[in-house]
A and B are shown apart, each in its own frame.
Chain A
């Protein structure tokens, strides 16, 4: 009888335990979205969005996630690959297949940065105590705008942009290259129009202004671009910040360079710019007198980012002046272009350039100056495409071609394709075209 009672008691105890949630678990490593629906949560989303943007633009220090600067520079003439992964070699060789996992990572990370910044802007608008005094909203809109520019400048025409809402997924249709720049422009316009800029010290408004100018430049609206850039002081900078720790916040351009994975290029494929032989202080490098990790490529290590915590410029006053200089090309003021470029060079103690004798020389001068000033900031691939699209250069005149240094030939890609995973989007069908 005693045994029976004990058993029944234990059974009852288990019943109580069951009712109390035998299947409840604790998952401390995840955050329920509902916990972020408040002012503090919105600010946390803003910091997270900046981290996502930094990660997408600059990569991370683990050497497993290449950022936009590294990969667009690899496809352009800034870097040659001095390590071995075939997926990175495809990009260096301008022969990228849509199942390239490195490409997929970049595309996803840029989209995550785009969605995170747009989401953070919306959260700040909804949950800030006083949105009209919150410059973070314009900052998020601006950073979102830059992601559209990165897509437009580095990827083929046809990139879709989809959204995640609380209860549905909205699949976007592919946007043409022009549409991407236009969408980016709209984000910058929204930022500049936001009342929250009243509390801004210029940090955000100048970021938006340069973004707007860059978008207009991409769209070929040169004088409007110059006008947008004109409000930005030359000494202005907006940077992504890095740190020794955690590794996700390391400056990956520094890590890839000092890790002998990326090497500074020189006249790559016959038509690349002489980044090394020009011995220009804006592209400082070190001849390691050694080969990279691939065992064959001579290693020239970029010194622009001296350590893991070096910041990376997203937009600055130099770029604003360069945009103004480019606008002078269109009334064919070649002397004006050179003068504008020399004015910028003077700020850095560089010797004057000789006057450009004709339009082609002025174009060469301008784009070379842009390449050196903006080296390893994610501008060069877009500029090389603009040389074809806006200035009538041929692909072979702009992009490296011929024998690839590790065997085989350069391909004919001038941009990156949409990764194969996007085939799961019912409203998108890959690249509309692969033109510049």
Chain B
């Protein structure tokens, strides 16, 4: 019988929400302003060209408009009075003018902006709406996605975030096409809940499952391996900008689930003017340039044993008198051209968008097609063999890893009246991704080559040959729609209201098919097997807000915002399996045995907030806020929660005492404090049983099994953060500098505590027990190093250090051990650190050049080795513009470090496979032999925890902007060609293939390199044409 969860009622929470409904939807329009306005034009001082997309702020009412293609702006329905108008635009110094608006008239202004390499002020979107960045007391990172996507080698959404914001770590867990991304902002807050940030797109909360799959394609756990992340459904070419709200100090008003930070995506919008078309075409190659570890096969080919390869004669066996090593072969089928299935894949992307409109209605429409073949291709020899036998080879067997995606978008803005506008956004994505098995499976290419233990002359060095592995089809299809409707209404000059309704729905089908008789002879797969799992995942957003702006005195402004949100997340699915399929059949119908189950998970949350901001002389801003939240997942004994927030932003350089002709051109000090949370899982608070199939007397019978202990006292975990920082520009705005320090504590941390298995219940139970600390610093420097008419060079350096520590796990809670016993949450140490028994010493005592089993000593108890997740990151972005802007060269270097990575594949090759160099090759370095002996004889992984730091040349791009005359030949207005590369060069001490992989996919903490596909290299050529 289903369980219906009804949480207690919370009047405290709902009252503001309802009041808001009335405000947004029906405030009396008594205070209607007269039809006065302010309009004007913004141009470039240098040439007088109109400046499009400048943001114009009408202070006082705090209204913001953008300029159109002609640089024009207009505020309608402005109450007569004196106002300050401020204009902000990327690449220009802000400009301010005062204006007096008379009744029934529209005042006209003209702004000429001076170019400036860097600027500190811009418009950002917060939970309360758009506002100047200088008013916000916390750090907000803004990524100019539209510009980046034009020139940088961006192949998916995650690339836009990587290396572009301090404190934001992007880890793509492998190089297989379609693989997802693990993202951390300011470290990991939560011991047991997700540490992924929250995503909004155009004000709508977005499904962002980091590992969104049920395909059993390797990795540790179903849905791991090369599982995709839903954030990569978003077409980067449709994105205007991304804002990253980094922690609870800034994310308070986003409510529960926001403690890991918030990523706000804003898609492109149209601007008034004639239709403007942009077409682009991208062609490229995906290439695995890595060198894989060599298999060392020691043989005993003495007369006594013959030529039997499986004798696995390792050096220690010889020392023990068990064999005589007569030869050692060295080979990897992944490195030999004749046997390797790693061949360049084709990447292609084509798209078009058009935008334009009138003052009343603007539009942006786009379409995009993307296809990428991964680096796997059936070797010709095997293809020919299948062709000879069967006459044809299925495409998916030739190219088992590929992605195809179609994206469509329509954004429309309508000015309904002088005091109301409406924005409709709609995005649709259809994708098909074929995956290949990866990370911990007998059916992986990497595993079959590295961990099969097979020498070159047997099966060409493969455990299972590529043809058998590639016959498996693992495909995920999605149809996704994200749509929203936002209405802005200004019923009075002092009052603006906003209502957003949003719906994000994904229909996903995961199909995994092992054709009868064609796949590898593994378990019962060859008898035919098919999984067909279909899901519908939806998120509903209702967001209401009302803001009142008041001029309390000539120098003091007040802004009061009341807001409320309702969210509903729901996922349901039906999972079907058929085993023993008729030969030639591709359907579950007719299977020898079938199995089906269904799943439904739903959670709902309701929240409201009130925020008060005071501004003094437009240079000191003090903000305070409270957020109230309730959620269907809270325990029965817990009421709603309240989160406070306060911040100060002081533009010191605007004070009279500040000498702006000195070292600093601009200086802002800021500080913020805030709290946010993370809700428990949907059913974590409940004690329940789950259905299970039973059998008695030869008859199938329904039964139940214990599901979860639950915890009626469960409440959200609570993260508090103090952030202090400064933003400055120096050398006449040629260099900007941002620095932030943050101290974050997560209390009442939800600990998924292992409970004693002797209870005979579930494995774990959630408690609000723990405390986690994250302290760190972030820094960003943007500089125009060279600025001449024909040659400019911009550098952006950012970096961060995070100190993560588990302060308290809870009284009586034993360390939580996971990741095959190698990772632990232990008090006083970083979360998820690596542990094993240490190698305490080794020595070649007899001087024979060999470390024997008895020449290595290992400690008795496990010790902490180091962090499993990087805590240091830095990136250097360079943009060099040559020949009067005709050529632009962009590069990005990416550093991550402070962590170890478990080279689990190498230890596995030592034991149980016995084909690693440390065991087989008597000339191997002694340290290599020692760690191999230690894992073989003492089962300690210690020697395989290796420093995980790396520096990667992540991006290189060269863009040629054709002269207008060239463009006109094609009846175009703009023409550019970009040649770009991604993942081009790596420096690391790691002895494995790539330290930036994870066999646990986007798992919260578990990290390991095990049969993982390393990052691949991209080369692309992209043509952009504008009409």
Interface residue A353 (Cβ < 8 Å from any Cβ of B): no
Q: Do B524 and A100 touch across chains, with their CB atoms under 8 A apart?
A: no
Q: What B residues does A3 contact at CB under 8 A?
A: 26, 29
B939 near A90 with CB under 8 A, answer yes
B887 interfacial contact with A, CB 8 Å: no
Bound-state CA distance A241–B695 (Å) is: 6
Using an 8 Å CB-CB cutoff, how does the interface string of B1-41 with A read, 1 for contact, 0 for none? 11111110100001001100110111111000000000000
Asked if A293 and B442 sit within 8 Å, CB to CB, the answer is yes
Chain B residue with minimal CB distance to A426?
B812
Q: Give the Cβ gap from A34 to chain B, nearest Cβ, in Å.
A: 10
Task: Report B10 CB to chain A, min CB distance, Å.
Answer: 9
Query: What chain A residues lie within 8 Å of B697 (beta carbons)?
Result: 241
Cα–Cα distance between A242 and B709 once the two chains are bound (Å): 28
Report A20-66 residues with CB < 8 Å from chain B CB: 21-33, 35-36, 44-52, 54, 63
Cβ of B913 < 8 Å from any Cβ of A?
Answer: yes
In Å, the complex CA distance between A422 and B812 comes to 12
Interface pair B914/A18, CB less than 8 Å apart: no
A409 CB within 8 Å of chain B: yes
Closest to B19 in A: A11
| Contacting residues of chain B (703-762) with chain A, CB-CB under 8 angstroms | 703-709, 753-761
Contact status of A99 and B821, CB under 8 A, knowing A48-B694, A241-B696, A428-B758: yes
Determine whether the beta carbon of B3 is less than 8 Å from that of A27.
yes
Query: How far is it, in angstroms, between the C-alpha of A296 and the C-alpha of B936 when the chains are bound?
Result: 16
The verdict on A111 contacting B760 (CB below 8 Å), with A10-B26, A295-B454, A407-B316 known, is yes
Tell me if B27 and A421 are in contact (CB < 8 A).
Answer: no
Assess the B813–A8 pair: CB atoms within 8 A.
no
Is the CB–CB distance between A7 and B26 below 8 Å? yes
Which residues of chain A are within 8 angstroms of B103 by Cβ–Cβ distance? none
Give the docked Cα–Cα distance between A308 and B689 (Å). 27
Chain A residues near B705 (CB, 8 Å)?
48, 51-52, 112, 116
Q: Which B residues touch A295, using CB under 8 A?
A: 310, 452-454, 463, 913
Q: Once bound together, how far apart are the Cα atoms of A25 and B606, in whole Å?
A: 13
Report yes or no: A408 in contact with B937, Cβ–Cβ below 8 A: yes
Q: Which of B2, B24, B689 is the one whose CB lies under 8 Å from A26?
A: B2
Q: Which residues of B contact A50 (CB under 8 A)?
A: 694-696, 703
Which chain A positions have C-beta within 8 A of B3? 26-28, 30-32
Q: Is the CB of B760 within 8 A of A116?
A: yes
- Which among A5, A21, A36 has the greatest number of chain B C-beta atoms within 10 A? A21
- Contact stretch, chosen from A81-89, A279-287, A327-335: A81-89
- Distance from B631 Cβ to chain A, minimum over Cβ atoms (Å): 7
Knowing A245-B593, A247-B577 are in contact, say whether A48-B704 is a contact too (CB < 8 A): yes
Query: B814 to A423, Cβ gap below 8 A?
Result: yes
Task: Determine whether B46 belongs to the interface, using a CB cutoff of 8 Å to chain A.
Answer: no
Quick check: A4 and B630 within 8 Å, CB to CB? no
Q: Does A278 make an interface contact (CB < 8 A)?
A: no
* B353 CB, nearest partner CB in chain A, Å: 36
Are A23 and B690 touching (Cβ within 8 A)? no
| Shortest Cβ gap from B517 to chain A (Å) | 16
- Interchain CB contact under 8 A, B566 and A115: no
Category for how many chain B residues contact A: 35 or more
Cβ–Cβ contact B602 & A25, under 8 A = yes
Q: Which of A10, A29, A116 has the most CB of B within 10 A?
A: A29
Known: A51-B705, A172-B758, A408-B937. Contact between A247 and B595, CB under 8 A? yes
Which of B340-348, B679-687, B966-974 is near enough to bind chain A? Answer: B679-687
User: Chain A nearest CB: distance from B899 CB in Å?
Assistant: 21
- For the complex, is A159 an interface residue (Cβ under 8 Å from B)? yes
CA distance A255 to B334 in the complex (A): 32
For B763, the chain A residues whose CB sits under 8 A away are: 108, 421
Bound CA–CA A212/B965 (angstroms): 98
Check B758–A171 contact: CB distance below 8 A.
yes
Please tell me if the beta carbons of B913 and A84 are within 8 angstroms of each other in the complex: yes
A424/B755 in contact, CB under 8 A: yes
Contact B594–A164 (Cβ < 8 Å): no
Q: Which of B2, B694, B757, B853 contacts A108 (CB 8 A)?
A: B757
Residue from B4, B320, B452, B689 in contact with A24 in the complex, judged by beta carbons closer than 8 Å: B4
A89 to B758, CA, bound (A): 24
State the Cβ distance, B477 to closest chain A Cβ, in Å: 24
Residue numbers in B under 8 Å from A44 (CB-CB): 702-704
**Alpha-carbon distance A163/B316, docked complex (angstroms):** 49
B757-A5 in contact (CB<8A) = no
State whether A15 touches B18 (Cβ < 8 A).
Answer: yes
The smallest beta-carbon distance between B961 and chain A, in angstroms, is 51
Given contacts A8-B26, A33-B688, contact A296 B695 (CB under 8 A): no
| Interface flag for A420 (CB, 8 Å) | yes
Q: Nearest Cβ distance between residue B499 and chain A, in whole angstroms?
A: 10
Cβ of A79 under 8 Å from chain B: no
Contact A294 B758 (CB under 8 A): no
Cβ–Cβ < 8 Å partners of A380 in chain B: none
**Nearest CB on A from B582, distance (A):** 16
Whether B317 sits at the interface, judged by CB under 8 Å, is: yes
The residue in A7, A19, A243 that gathers the most chain B C-beta atoms within 10 A of its C-beta is A7
Tell me the bound Cα distance from A436 to B817 in angstroms: 28
Within 454-468 of B, Cβ neighbours of A (below 8 Å) are at 454, 463
Q: Which residues of A contact B702 (CB under 8 A)?
A: 44, 47
Contact partner of B912 (CB less than 8 A), chosen from A99, A163, A291, A407, is A407
- Known: A22-B566, A162-B760, A407-B914. Contact between A27 and B524, CB under 8 A? no
| Given A50-B694, A259-B523, A296-B914, CB of A101 within 8 Å of CB of B821 | yes
**CB <8 Å contact, B524 and A258:** yes
User: Of residues 85 to 115 in B, which have CB atoms within 8 Å of A's CB atoms?
Assistant: none
B452 CB to closest chain A CB (Å) equals 6
Within 8 A of B (CB), among A102-144: 104, 107-108, 111-116
| Contact flags B161-188 to A (C-beta < 8 A → 1, else 0) | 0000000000000000000000000000
Which A residues are CB-close (under 8 A) to B761?
112, 115, 164
State whether the Cβ of A305 lies closer than 8 Å to any Cβ in chain B.
no
Is A249 in contact with chain B by the CB < 8 A criterion? yes
The answer, among B14, B606, B695, B939, for a CB contact under 8 Å with A249, is B695
Q: Cα distance A248–B761 when bound, in Å?
A: 18
Interface string of B293-315 (1 = CB under 8 A from A): 00000000000000000101010
B606→A23 contact, CB < 8 A: yes
Q: Is A246 interfacial (CB-CB < 8 Å)?
A: yes
Q: Which of A31, A159, A247 contacts B704 (CB 8 A)?
A: A31
Contacts of B853 in A (CB 8 A): 408
A29-B690, A51-B693, A291-B310 known; A403+B707 contact, CB < 8 A = no
Contact B936–A18 (Cβ < 8 Å): no
Using A51-B705, A243-B700 as known contacts, say yes or no to A160 and B692 having CB atoms under 8 A apart. Answer: no
Chain B residues with CB under 8 Å of A242's CB are 695
CB-defined contacts of A422 to chain B, threshold 8 Å? 756-758
Chain A residues contacting B688 (CB-CB under 8 Å) are 30-33
Instruction: Confirm or deny: A425 has a beta carbon within 8 angstroms of a beta carbon on chain B.
Output: yes
Q: B757 contacts A24, CB within 8 Å?
A: no
Interchain nearest-CB distance for A68 vs B (Å): 14
C-alpha spacing A257/B937, complex, angstroms: 27
- Residues of chain A lying within 8 A (CB to CB) of residue B9: 19
Q: List 12 A-B contacts (CB under 8 A).
A: A24-B6, A28-B2, A28-B3, A29-B598, A30-B690, A48-B703, A241-B695, A295-B452, A295-B453, A296-B312, A308-B593, A424-B754
Name the 9 nearest CB pairs between A and B, nearest first.
A7-B26, A115-B760, A48-B703, A7-B25, A99-B821, A47-B703, A425-B756, A28-B2, A244-B593
**Chain A residues proximal to chain B, CB less than 8 Å:** 3-11, 14-15, 18-19, 21-33, 35-36, 44-52, 54, 63, 84, 86-87, 89-90, 95, 97, 99-101, 104, 107-108, 111-116, 159-164, 169, 171-172, 241-249, 255, 258-259, 291, 293-296, 308, 403, 406-409, 419-426, 428
Task: Supply 16 further A-B pairs (C-beta < 8 A) apart from A9-B26, A23-B630, A111-B758.
Answer: A3-B29, A4-B27, A7-B22, A24-B7, A24-B604, A25-B4, A27-B4, A27-B686, A46-B703, A99-B817, A100-B821, A162-B760, A243-B700, A246-B597, A291-B310, A295-B310
